Structure 1
Amino acid sequence: MQFKEYPSYKNSGVEWLGDVPSDWHVKRFGYIFSENKTKNRGLIENNVLSLSYGNIKEKNVEDNKGLLPESFETYQLIEPNDIIFRFTDLQNDKRSLRSAISNYKGIITSAYISVRTRQNAEYFNYLFRAYDLQKVYYSMGDGMRQSLKIDELNRMPITVPNQQIQTQIANYLDQETQKIDTLIAKQEKLIELLEEQRKSVISHAVTKGLDPNAPMKDSGVEWLGDVPSHWDIISIKHLANCSSGQGINSLEISDMSNDENCFPVIGGNGEMGWTSKSNYKVPVLSIGRVGALCGNVHLINYQSWISDNSLILKVHSKKIGLKILKYILLARDLNILASKSAQPLITGTQVKNEKIVLPPLKEQDLIVEFIKTENLRINNLTEKQKALIEKLKEYRASIISHAVTGKIDVRELVA
């Protein structure tokens, strides 16, 4: 879409703003916003809010998730249209969205900065989102720092069109970002459906085989149902040894490999870092042993250190290949076996006693090759959807930035 520009421009004097429309003002933040310092003394408000992924959300304190204060009297009172900033951990966290507008009346931690304005808060919310995406906050003041204070924020230059234009821009961005978000949600749903299709393909291939005309029999195992009549049913313990990985000191794990003598550390959900030692050189299956993701299955065919958060399956029988065993266990969904406790757990005994199908070796190879081909097809489709999502996000960021800094004139585009 081709956008119009404003009739004339002037130099804003601010590097990241560039030229702005001639009749727009560039003012310091503190001229437009005042800090809200009202505390929740006497616990007059109990609707606890949080800033998450660029949105203000109501928080359920009953589930006890996250850190909670001894008293909510130290929290600050928030009104609808207040804008909240979180400027903690700037050096280490460069991905979080740092600001959001509140649609609620409630309270939020005083570690955040809360401000309000008599002008159009929605417009400025979009402006600060543009600043966020351009990483403006990370280079303010004397360069990189851990946090920003209200005094520094008050000196920040911002674009201030008249209030009619503010409203027009905010309304346009509301309608356009809603359209884009709807498209993104559709693509994300397609990715979910592709993952469901992947699971279905694997499950059908390893329990029903590739021949739709093959005679079937009752396996006697609930999760398997009917299987090809010439397949065997066997316990894993007759095919593979199951043991636990070994503990490793967290000080021995680094985030990245320094040289060729570093080996991946395998946790309950795959690779979790690098270390200078290894405890496995032969191909094995790693199964998440503990936690919400226990039951995850990974084929490890490289030298590595497999931690005690994993169970290890090492095939000792020539009747089954490691790759098809992985797919069979993925179809089984071992997480179902986990103990129903605060810390879910799967034991080696449970895994060893699981009954699975055992197709002839030639069929195993055909099934593995079929799943490999289907995985590649699904991966390609998924990557296309992800690329489209990224383009949509880039477009959304672009129209927000261009609209709030006056690079495009959207006044006549509001429905």
Structure 2
Amino acid sequence: MGRYQAYGEYKDSGIEWLGEIPTHWMLTRIKFITRCLDGARIPLNAQERGDKQGNIPYWGANKVVDHVNDFLFNEDLILLGEDGAPFFDKTKDVAFNVSGKIWPNNHVHVLRPDKCKIDIRFLKHAINCADFHLYISGSTRDKLNQSDMNEIYVRHCKFSEQEKIANFLDHETAKIVTLIEKQQKLIQLLKEKRQAVISHAVTKGLNPNAQMCDSGVEWLGEVPVHWVVAQLKFNTLEMQTGPFGSQLHSEDYVDNGIPLVNPAHMSAGKIVPDSKVSVDQATWSRLSRHQLFEGDLIFARRGELGRCAVVTKIEEGWLCGTGSLKAKLNERLIPEYSYLLITSEGVVSELSLESKGSTMDNLNTETLGRVRLPVPPVDEQKEILAYVKSVSGKYGLLIDRASFAIQLIQERRTALISAAVTGKIDVRDWVAPPANQTDKEVAA
């Protein structure tokens, strides 16, 4: 915070964890500047009590909050609303808050600020800087009740100074949000570019001078003339769905047994098991025909088509889950190369068109087997895989750098807010720069 000056004089707050505050600032408990209400005790008017048609959007259960700029907390110490903002902020379009009312349940607390005593924006930031755990009643529970909430201390100053701090933070955090959005767009562009480069390599090869011919597949277009285009079923030794629901029930699951692999356990071509979704040895023996072997591909049968993973030595012997199907490839297709093809946009689109199911995409062995794929010679597949690994690494490094930049920016935002609402920096003389200067600052 080297750009900003500290206040001239500070005093001991009298509370150890709060430390020093500017001499003219005050400490006030929440109950003196807000009204803390339990969600179950907020009154309804006659119309609200009689509404049986669902015209009032619901939050949980049976009571209503009807004040713009109320704060909502749940008992697990989470300030509800995007980025801890007041849930009913007139400046934001809250999609399901069209009537300005929601219904919290008994486990939601409503904090209604006294607008004559505290600036809503200042209070939002001040609350987010509070250490709620210091106010929890009892040592065995991690929840915040109404009495706990009332005892929270807030550092604050005169209303005019609160407004100045809030204006400063609105301006500075808006710039920071813009920077974050730019980094997020960069990450998205890098991911799209990486995917485009990979897709081109696995469908067109690495030789830009290779003689091409029509593949006969609309999404694929031309391929090198020496490649083969064939349905997946002609390059597999076996395709098999996971066990029927009647063969495996949730009560068969045990903790830390032999893992089952369902769609939720496939991520970016890898298998990420859940220790709670596993079976004992007896169940495994009964379902052993569904065991996985190194080099198999395992697919999601429902939902996100094209979602699949390559089985490694580590997962050998695990079971194909009810929501999955597995395929054992022949020697003409390398599993990792097949994964890149099957997760490409063209194959995913074709699977969606071919899939069965009236309410959601549903993949079966017949549909999967009909998918047409380009099959280069094995040596060329290996070259393409090596190239893809190199390209992915380069783009991955750029993405990691952008992600790290976002992390640093977010940390700076948090530190700036904390410094302003706790009196570490003095922004009383701050003046908002002209709009064109702000735009230049963000661009820089």
Normalised by the size of structure 2, how large is the TM-score? Answer: 0.78
Match of 2:85 among 94, 100, 103: 100
Q: Which residue in 1 is equivalent to 2:440?
A: none
CA contact (8 A) 1:268 1:294 kept: no
Instruction: Work out whether 1:5 is the aligned partner of 2:6.
Output: yes
Give the Cα–Cα distance (whole angstroms) in 1 for the partners of residues 224 and 326 of structure 2. Answer: 29
Residues 1:108 and 1:13: Cα distance change in structure 2 (over 3 Å): farther
Bigger CA drift: 232-241 or 77-86?
Answer: 77-86
- Mapping of 1:330-345 within 5 angstroms? 330-331=343-344, 332-333=347-348, 336-337=352-353, 338-339=355-356, 341-345=358-362
Give the Cα–Cα distance (whole angstroms) in 2 for the partners of residues 49 and 174 of structure 1. Answer: 30
Give the Cα–Cα distance (whole angstroms) in 1 for the partners of residues 196 and 321 of structure 2. Answer: 30
Instruction: Work out whether 1:323 is the aligned partner of 2:339.
Output: no
Residue-by-residue CA offset, 1:246-296 (whole Å, 9 max, x unaligned)? 457476355xx6xxxx665422141241346673242211211112x2321
Residues 1:379 and 1:342: Cα distance change in structure 2 (over 3 Å): same
Instruction: Work out whether 1:397 is the aligned partner of 2:414.
Output: yes
Residues 1:343 and 1:106: Cα distance change in structure 2 (over 3 Å): same
Give the Cα–Cα distance (whole angstroms) in 1 for the partners of residues 382 and 327 of structure 2. Answer: 20
Q: Which residue in 1 is equivalent to 2:241?
A: 244
Give the Cα–Cα distance (whole angstroms) in 2 for the partners of residues 4 and 266 of structure 1. Answer: 57
Residues 1:197 and 1:351: Cα distance change in structure 2 (over 3 Å): same
RMSD: 2.8
Q: Which residue in 1 is equivalent to 2:388?
A: 371
- Mapping of 1:253-402 within 5 angstroms? 254=255, 264-269=259-264, 270=266, 271-274=272-275, 275=278, 279-291=291-303, 293-301=304-312, 302-303=314-315, 304-315=318-329, 317-331=330-344, 332-333=347-348, 336-337=352-353, 338-339=355-356, 341-402=358-419
CA contact (8 A) 2:136 2:142 kept: no
Give the Cα–Cα distance (whole angstroms) in 1 for the partners of residues 139 and 423 of structure 2. Answer: 27
CA shift for structure 1 position 176: 0.9
Matched AA of 2:379:
K
Match of 1:78 among 66, 77, 85: 66
CA contact (8 A) 2:65 2:104 kept: no
Residues 1:48 and 1:116: Cα distance change in structure 2 (over 3 Å): farther
Matched AA of 1:398:
A
Give the Cα–Cα distance (whole angstroms) in 2 for the partners of residues 100 and 409 of structure 1. Answer: 23
Residues 1:213 and 1:248: Cα distance change in structure 2 (over 3 Å): farther
Residues 1:380 and 1:128: Cα distance change in structure 2 (over 3 Å): same
Match of 2:47 among 38, 42, 47: 42
Aligned with 2:229: secondary structure?
strand
Give the Cα–Cα distance (whole angstroms) in 1 for the partners of residues 72 and 302 of structure 2. Answer: 38
Give the Cα–Cα distance (whole angstroms) in 1 for the partners of residues 372 and 230 of structure 2. Answer: 5
CA shift for structure 1 position 99: 4.4
Give the Cα–Cα distance (whole angstroms) in 2 for the partners of residues 100 and 138 of structure 1. Answer: 22
CA contact (8 A) 2:135 2:151 kept: no
CA contact (8 A) 1:14 1:157 kept: no
Residue-by-residue CA offset, 1:371-415 (whole Å, 9 max, x unaligned)? 111111111111111111111111111111111111111222341
CA contact (8 A) 2:305 2:348 kept: no
Residues 1:343 and 1:236: Cα distance change in structure 2 (over 3 Å): same
Matched AA of 2:167:
N
Match of 1:408 among 425, 433, 440: 425
Give the Cα–Cα distance (whole angstroms) in 2 for the partners of residues 342 and 325 of structure 1. Answer: 28
Matched AA of 2:352:
I
CA contact (8 A) 2:28 2:156 kept: yes
Aligned with 2:28: secondary structure?
strand
CA contact (8 A) 1:242 1:313 kept: yes
Corresponding pairs, count: 380
Residues 1:99 and 1:327: Cα distance change in structure 2 (over 3 Å): closer
Give the Cα–Cα distance (whole angstroms) in 1 for the partners of residues 307 and 80 of structure 2. Answer: 27
Q: Which residue in 1 is equivalent to 2:94?
A: none
Instruction: Work out whether 1:166 is the aligned partner of 2:166.
Output: no
Residues 1:309 and 1:14: Cα distance change in structure 2 (over 3 Å): farther
Residues 1:264 and 1:11: Cα distance change in structure 2 (over 3 Å): farther
Match of 2:192 among 191, 196, 206: 196
Aligned with 1:345: secondary structure?
coil
Q: Which residue in 1 is equivalent to 2:214?
A: 218
CA contact (8 A) 1:75 1:107 kept: no
Give the Cα–Cα distance (whole angstroms) in 2 for the partners of residues 413 and 341 of structure 1. Answer: 60
Matched AA of 1:48:
P
- Mapping of 1:62-141 within 5 angstroms? 74-87=62-75, 89=76, 99-101=84-86, 102-104=88-90, 106-111=100-105, 112-114=108-110, 115-118=112-115, 119-131=118-130, 136-137=132-133, 140-141=136-137
Matched AA of 2:425:
I
Give the Cα–Cα distance (whole angstroms) in 2 for the partners of residues 324 and 403 of structure 1. Answer: 53
Normalised by the size of structure 1, how large is the TM-score? Answer: 0.83
CA shift for structure 1 position 187: 1.0
CA contact (8 A) 2:135 2:149 kept: no
Give the Cα–Cα distance (whole angstroms) in 2 for the partners of residues 251 and 146 of structure 1. Answer: 33
Q: Which residue in 1 is equivalent to 2:269?
A: none
Q: Percent identity?
A: 29
